[in-house]
Structure 1
Amino acid sequence: MMPPIISRTRRSNWIAAIAKLLIDLELLNLATVLAVLVRVDFRVTPQPWVYTLRFPGLVENLVFVAVSVLLQTPRALWSYASLRDVERVALVVAVTKVLALTLLIAMRAEVQWSWGAFAVSAVLTFLFMAAVRLLARWRYEHTTRQERVDVPVQRTPPGTRVLVVGAGDAGDKVLREFEAHPGLGKVVGLIDDDPAKRGYTIRGVRVRGPVATIADTVRRTGATQAVIAIPSHAAAVTRAVLSNLADTDVQVRTLPGMWELVDGSIHVDDLRPIRLEDLLSRVPISTDMGPVRAYVEGKRILVTGAGGSIGSEIVRQVAELNPSQVIMLGRGENRIFRIDRELREHEGVTCAVPVIGDMRDEARMTWLFDTYRPDIIFHAAAHKHVPLMEQNPEEAILNNVGGTRTLLRLAASHGAERFVNISTDKAVNPVNFMGASKRVVELVVQVNDGREHLRATSVRFGNVLGSKGSVTEVFQKQLQESRTLRVTDPNMERFFMLIPEAVQLVLQAGALAQGRDIFVLRMGEPIRILDLARSYIKLAGLEVGRDASIVITGNRGNEKMTEELWSSTEHVAPTSNDSIMRVECPTLPSLAVLRQAVDALLNATRSHDTNAMRAALHAIDPSINIP
């Protein structure tokens, strides 16, 4: 039996719908009467009133009711009337008039007034019905605004003057929220790069100019806060706003992404501080993990460099895919201890095995493979800091190249299924020892693909925001210690991504690998490090020039101004994942030829002959040119 409360609610809803239908019906007949009165020059005559009660008018009324019920216009909430509701009203009126006229002609009924009056009645019906809905919407907003004045919201200092960046739909909604909550401050202007909007107003607020002039607008209006009202906005807008306002004390906030605004509503509590991911030049990716689970579930997984930023995230994500075992290999006991404790205490993972060891130690690695016999290897261990490796090039080659070759040989000889190597954009046309070592590793991985049925592939990506030793971590330390950020060159730029999406790309590569391929992410446009520094200072709530400064230190040694994701000799092809591309490489050397060349490189390295190392690297790949 239906509960009484639900029964009463449904009955009340039906009564409301019938009442709305009757109101619309009255408006239809009122429009008809007025149209006929216009036709007869407002002479006092029973003609219009008689028409609505006689056969032709009754036919039109019945058609109107049928069309309204079919299109469900009585079920619409007038308090939330929108352009779509107005469009539905127009459709109801048009269909009603066309069908009624068709029926009347078919039945040869007498229409006692002109075609013009018939058209006028249609227009008036539409205007009356739309006006009633818009009036209800206005009344609801006005009443709600009065009620929400006393609702607790996140308060701002008295007299806050706000600039809204984005004179679009989201900007309009933000303006409504500020109207509903006067205590939040006053919007003194809109910022938009569209020149067609400049000088016009939205809800009485003027569009003052583009983002490039926002600092001047701040000075003219006395604004103390800027709200970026562009859901799913391009990060270039955020970076431009932060950069232009870096020398001011203006607070910058933004909206959630469009995917968070499912119901299309925006509230003042949704406004939040800018986050690091807002600075990316694209929306962070989120991929389907089904194909990854298909090859990981129930398998023994080895993660090298498991204590690092990327390695530890691989461990976390793989552990959720139900592997039989996760072997966490690392040289630093403290980092391996932390990820092991995290998995056991917070994630409840019991399949993880911590192993302390150096991948260059062939005896230790042989023991590891003999003992655990991993099915899949995610290779995240590597020396990665360019300036440090320029001072210690032997370590870059012995660790990155020698260690990887050892792992690949053992993986093939112990029947491993997959080997996924993490590479870097610095491996493309490398000009330093770190990048060169990673390029050689890519080649070693490629030529080992198919060896003893091993599927081996590499994944290239740029800098990772928030990783250990990343630029943002360095900036944070510099802000804490000296309030001075050091940038090597004002024109230097890099590709950036987030740790979770970098790891998703690594895991997806294992599923997408077809043989001797390299994968890269669609990473958008590179970001200038200087812009990132200015934005980072702003994110910290500081003002450039007053609370913190930026100094240009000069190139630290064989650093590129701009990185590349693939070379001119490589061909890029799409994959089944829109966010991932496959780099198809030119002809590769045979395993035997490359083994001999790598042996020569390692011998030169062990002899500490830097010139011989450069020559050996160039012989392996002519794209390697280290000054």
Structure 2
Amino acid sequence: MINGKTILITGGTGSLGKALTTHILTKYPKVSKLVIYSRDEQKQFQMAQEFPIDQYPQIRFLIGDVRDKERLIRAFRGIDFVIHAAAMKHVHLAEYNPDECIKTNVGGAQNVVHASLETGVERVVALSTDKACAPINLYGATKLTSDKLFIAANNIKGWNPIRFSVVRYGNVMGSNGSVIPFFMNKRESGILPITDPEMTRFNISLQGGVDMVMHALKHAWGGELFVPKIPSYKIMDVAEAVGPECEKKVVGIRPGEKVHEEMITPSDSFYTYDLGTYYAILPTTPRWDLKEFIKNFNAKKVSVGFKYNSEENTEWETIDTLRSLIKKHIDPSFEIFQHA
């Protein structure tokens, strides 16, 4: 299904965009074209060194901003699949720069929807975040709005066979700005800053995020919001895994942060189905036959009041598993740090 298709990734120079690029070019060498669309020319220049066109003739790099609808329309012409990964994602920066966050995360989502509808795109998968579930910060609120825009786009497509879906997951291990690389950079100082000792988070690898996107591209019927079944970790276990000899200094929670993250609330349970590897929150008024969907995916309705959050998760990373994951996914030379 992927071979022979043209694919565009917005925010394609980010951590997940690069992981998707590697995956697609490796697993689907007959992909017709893969366009990396982003606004940072330096990141595009650096990524082009990693994926030289003489080795990867399918790849293209296109400078552009999701805030620019006309540029998106031009970029989307001839594209079959769009993966929307562009976002302003740092919670504290969004709190300080709300207008910019809204322009990118909400306005950008609207532009992607409209450009897709106008250019013959077949499928769109938008990336979400656990912070979009019952949001308390602006970033989460903008991503919830983005989710709603993509899901509702299935209702305004008319005759167009396009399918819009969303994937929502927790902290991507090792992604730019995430806690583990932050702690690894800080451990030489002998102090690891802890916002709240009780804090928990969901954890997913870059490959896990890639697998979700590919699943949605291949299997979404339109309007689903996919949620993975993934483990949680305790922030104190992360600190211990990275720097057992370091002082863990409590610095206080940052503006807009939750102590625990959620991905499915009890209010979502009325529309949530267990698909095995993933949960799917279905649209309230799907444009397809629900009974057929249930039969096709062997979907099982969750119980009313079901919730899925990082505090009450049944699967947990330990200090040892975190260390193994760091070696596997972030730094193969990682060793337990002993501060002098």
- Please give the range of the TM-score, normalised by the shorter of the 2 chains: 0.7 to 0.9
> Following the alignment from structure 2 to structure 1, what is the Cα–Cα distance between the partners of residues 282 and 127?
17
What displacement does 1:488 show?
0.5
1:315 aligns with 2:15: no
Measure the CA separation in 1 of the matches of 2:68 and 2:242: 41
Answering whether residue 100 of structure 2 is matched by residue 409 of structure 1, we say no
**Pairwise CA distance, 1:503:** 0.8
Q: What corresponds to 1:369 in structure 2?
A: 76
**Higher-RCO chain (CA-CA 8 Å, sequence separation at least 6):** 2
In structure 2, distance between residues paired with 1:377 and 1:341: 23
Unaligned segments of structure 1, at least 5 residues: 1-293, 589-627
Q: Please give the alpha-carbon distance, in whole angstroms, between the structure 2 residues aligned to 1:427 and 1:509.
A: 18
Q: Which has the higher helix share?
A: 1
1:495 is the counterpart of 2:202: yes
CA distance in 2, matches of 1:383, 1:574: 30
Contact 1:464 1:499 in 2 (8 A): yes
Deviation at 1:552, TM superposition (A): 0.6
* CA deviation vs aligned residue, 1:201-242 (integer Å, no higher than 9, x gap): xxxxxxxxxxxxxxxxxxxxxxxxxxxxxxxxxxxxxxxxxx
| Deviation digits for residues 26-63 of structure 1 (CA, Å, limit 9, x no counterpart) | xxxxxxxxxxxxxxxxxxxxxxxxxxxxxxxxxxxxxx
The letter of the residue matching 1:413 is: E
Question: Conserved in 1, the CA contact under 8 Å of 2:151 and 2:283?
Answer: no
Give the deviation of 1:339 after TM superposition: 2.2
Cα distance between partner residues in 2 of 1:586 and 1:528? 34
- Aligned position for 2:320: none
Q: Cα 1:448–1:488, aligned 2, differ >3 Å: closer, same or farther? A: same
1:302 and 2:2 correspond = no
**Contact 2:129/2:169 (CA < 8 Å) preserved in 1?**
yes
Contact 1:389–1:396 at 8 Å: present in 2 too?
yes
- 1:312 deviates by 1.0
Q: CA deviation at 1:479?
A: 1.8
* 2:33 corresponds to 1:325: yes
SS at match of 1:458: strand
Indicate which of 546, 570, 577 corresponds to 2:268: 570
Alignment partner of 1:353 is 2:34:
no
Contact 1:432 1:559 in 2 (8 A): yes
2:101 equivalent among 383, 396, 400: 396
Corresponding letter in the other structure for 2:73: T
Higher Cα Rg: structure 1 or 2?
A: 1
Letter in 1 for 2:273: A
1:47-446 paired onto structure 2 within 5 Å: 294=1, 296-320=2-26, 321=28, 322-344=30-52, 348-370=55-77, 373-446=78-151
CA distance in 1, matches of 2:73, 2:204: 35
The CA deviation at 1:585 is 4.2
Deviations for 1:580-620, whole angstroms, at most 9, x for unmatched residues? Answer: 221124469xxxxxxxxxxxxxxxxxxxxxxxxxxxxxxxx
List per-residue Cα deviations over 1:496-550 (Å, max 9, x = no partner): 11111111111111122122110011013x2111221111114xxxx2xxxx211
- Which residue identity lines up with residue 66 of structure 2 in the other structure? M
8 Å contact kept, 2:88–2:101? yes
Per-residue deviation, 1:579: 1.7
Tell me the CA shift for residue 340 of structure 1. Answer: 2.1
Question: Matched residues in 2 for 1:580 and 1:446: separation?
Answer: 18
Specify every segment of 5 or more residues in structure 2 that has no aligned partner in the other structure, as ranges: 287-340
Q: Does the aligned pair in 2 maintain the 1:519–1:580 contact within 8 Å?
A: yes
Q: Partners in 2 of 1:301 and 1:456 — Cα distance?
A: 15
SS in structure 2 of the partner of residue 344 of structure 1: coil
Cα separation, 1, equivalents of 2:48 and 2:279: 33
CA contact (8 A) 1:570 1:586 kept: no
TM-score by length of 2: 0.79
Whether the 8 Å CA contact 2:11–2:17 is kept in 1: the answer is: yes
CA RMSD of aligned residues (A): 1.6
In 2, distance between residues paired with 1:501 and 1:579?
A: 11
Query: TM-score with structure 1 length normalisation?
Result: 0.43
The C-alpha deviation readout for 1:463-500, integer Å capped at 9, x for no partner, is 011111111111122124x2211110001110011111
